[in-house]
Structure 1
Amino acid sequence: MTAKGWKDLVLIGVLVLAAAFVPLVTDGYWLSIAVTAMMYIALTTAWTLFSGPTHYISLATGAFFGVGGYLVATGMSDHDLPFWLMAAIAPVVSVVLAALIGAATLRLSGIYFVIFTLGLAEMIRGLVSWVQNNFLGSRGLYVLTDFTEAHIYWMLLAIAATVYVIGWLIDRSRLGFAMKIIGNDEGVAKHLGIDTARAKVLLFMVTGFFSTLVGAIVAPRYSYIEPNQVFSPELSFMVVIMALLGGTQKLWGPIIGVIPFILIWETITASFPNATTLYLGLCFLAIVYFLPNGVVGLVQKIIAKGRSA
């Protein structure tokens, strides 16, 4: 391992240690904000694992997140199964789902892939709602645990740190090298003998696993779960915006996008609840026109200009 590699690991360790103290120094409203931010840090980092190197814009995060939350709620509410058992089962189910979806859709590219992944969450939400209305007789499920906001925060922090370390390892592996070539030119990757379909499906499965795990861990925070709540297309768009805002060139880039976005989002939600969709749209436009490579890309560009000068 290079000296830079060790520095990266030490830095992430220091940041995780510092973040672990947040529930000890704050509570109430700001702890709630911290939990929301940590949830999106874990989701955006997982999203960047796949979409960062491949440049495939996936809107399937809402689907995987919903599967995690809904399976936990179903197991606990309808079958009295323990939380930890369902939290372990849910990501495995999503890995299988991601493999099937990936095998069927990752041959698509561009707008076709984006549209399919967006429709995925809507399809699953409609299917779950239909099953509940016609066979279960109710729309909502209860998830009752002894977890506090602090417990959920620490679990999400552990997931975010794990995702980062796994992404760090993948980036330095043959799979990571293959994904970079695929992102630059998939045709060249095929000519070099890289099994592009297999590589993309594998990474898509990793993203699905962690997105579902986040949904499972967050489920007790809601207490009451219904399809429209956990299978939210808005969540998928927010993850994409935050990741692009921070920049996807580096695995830690999305973290820079999450914190300011969440603070502004909470302010708008509290003061102008009917303007949230407008805020999402404006963020998309601002990123496309002013920050196409995110904050990280802008900083790198400024540094490069300074060195050349």
Structure 2
Amino acid sequence: MAPKIISHTIPSVTGVTSITVIEAFNAAMSNAVIECYDTSLSLGDSITFDIGYSGDSGKIFTGYVRNIETELVGAKNRIVCEDELAKASDYFMASSDPNIPFDRSNIDTADLIEDILNEAQITSFSDDTTLSVTWGTQGSVSFNLATAWQACKTIIDALAWHLYASRTGTAHLTEAKPYAEGGESITFTWNVGTDNIMNINHTKSTEKLRNRVVVYGREGVTATASISSAFLPAGFFKTAVLASQLFDTNSFAQNVADVNLELLNRLTEGLTMTVEGDYTIEPRKWATVTVVDADISMDITGDWFIYQVEHRIDQSGYLCNVTLTR
């Protein structure tokens, strides 16, 4: 087999020595770091680039330049970039009149998220959800003195939903969960023992497990959901609390408690490994991992959710450090 030739296309950048792109399911945004000898990019410039191999490459990042560092020795530049949702983290919702904050009533979740993102000048939005949840049925939904990301996070955390920016710069609202719910579409297959898989590590932990969820809303609005866990001492509960004035009815609060218990009452099982670089690997996709070497005793065969991936190109080649969960 002929050796693969690494390829990248980064406008306004020459003499590239390394590229790192990190995408994570639990992160507010993706980020990229480019090290090069020359660039005409400036702070705040938009940037879109591809990586891969000659004849097989694709878009991996769309965002903005956040920081540029230049070394005196060697005149090397280090360009730090963040994706479209960086604007949501940067935009502080502060009304000129505190009596007239951002305010909505009887509004669907997707419309509410889109309106908040529009405040931060994020205008490319896709509603990928199948459920409809209405906010502000007993009064208005108001945000002030908070970032647009904090406002969105309050909403998506309550429903155990997910918001991310795609590689093309579109913000997506989805119900994606980091565990199997049935009907998952498998995108990748990795065979441990025959494929070129390096530095594999398997972990199990109860650190993030919560088997009791308490919700506090407006005055008089509360809810609790709990269940015993086979992974904790008998009768022991680890509690998560969600509190917001946006929870305006007991039924709404109970739904928040129930969906978050379903999300959090789980053993954290993780798999980290290094594989040959592939620009199509990204969070929210699914992979089947199979142990085909009888000398490997890890109990890891099965379907895994891609939780985080680091794409790294340097003088050593192109590798992906992948974190999976199930």
TM-score by length of structure 2 reads 0.23
Where is the helix percentage greater, Structure 1 or Structure 2? 1
TM-score by length of structure 1 reads 0.24
- Which of 1 and 2 has greater Rg? 2
Where is the strand percentage greater, Structure 1 or Structure 2? 2
- Structure with the bigger RCO (C-alpha within 8 Å, sep 6+) is 1
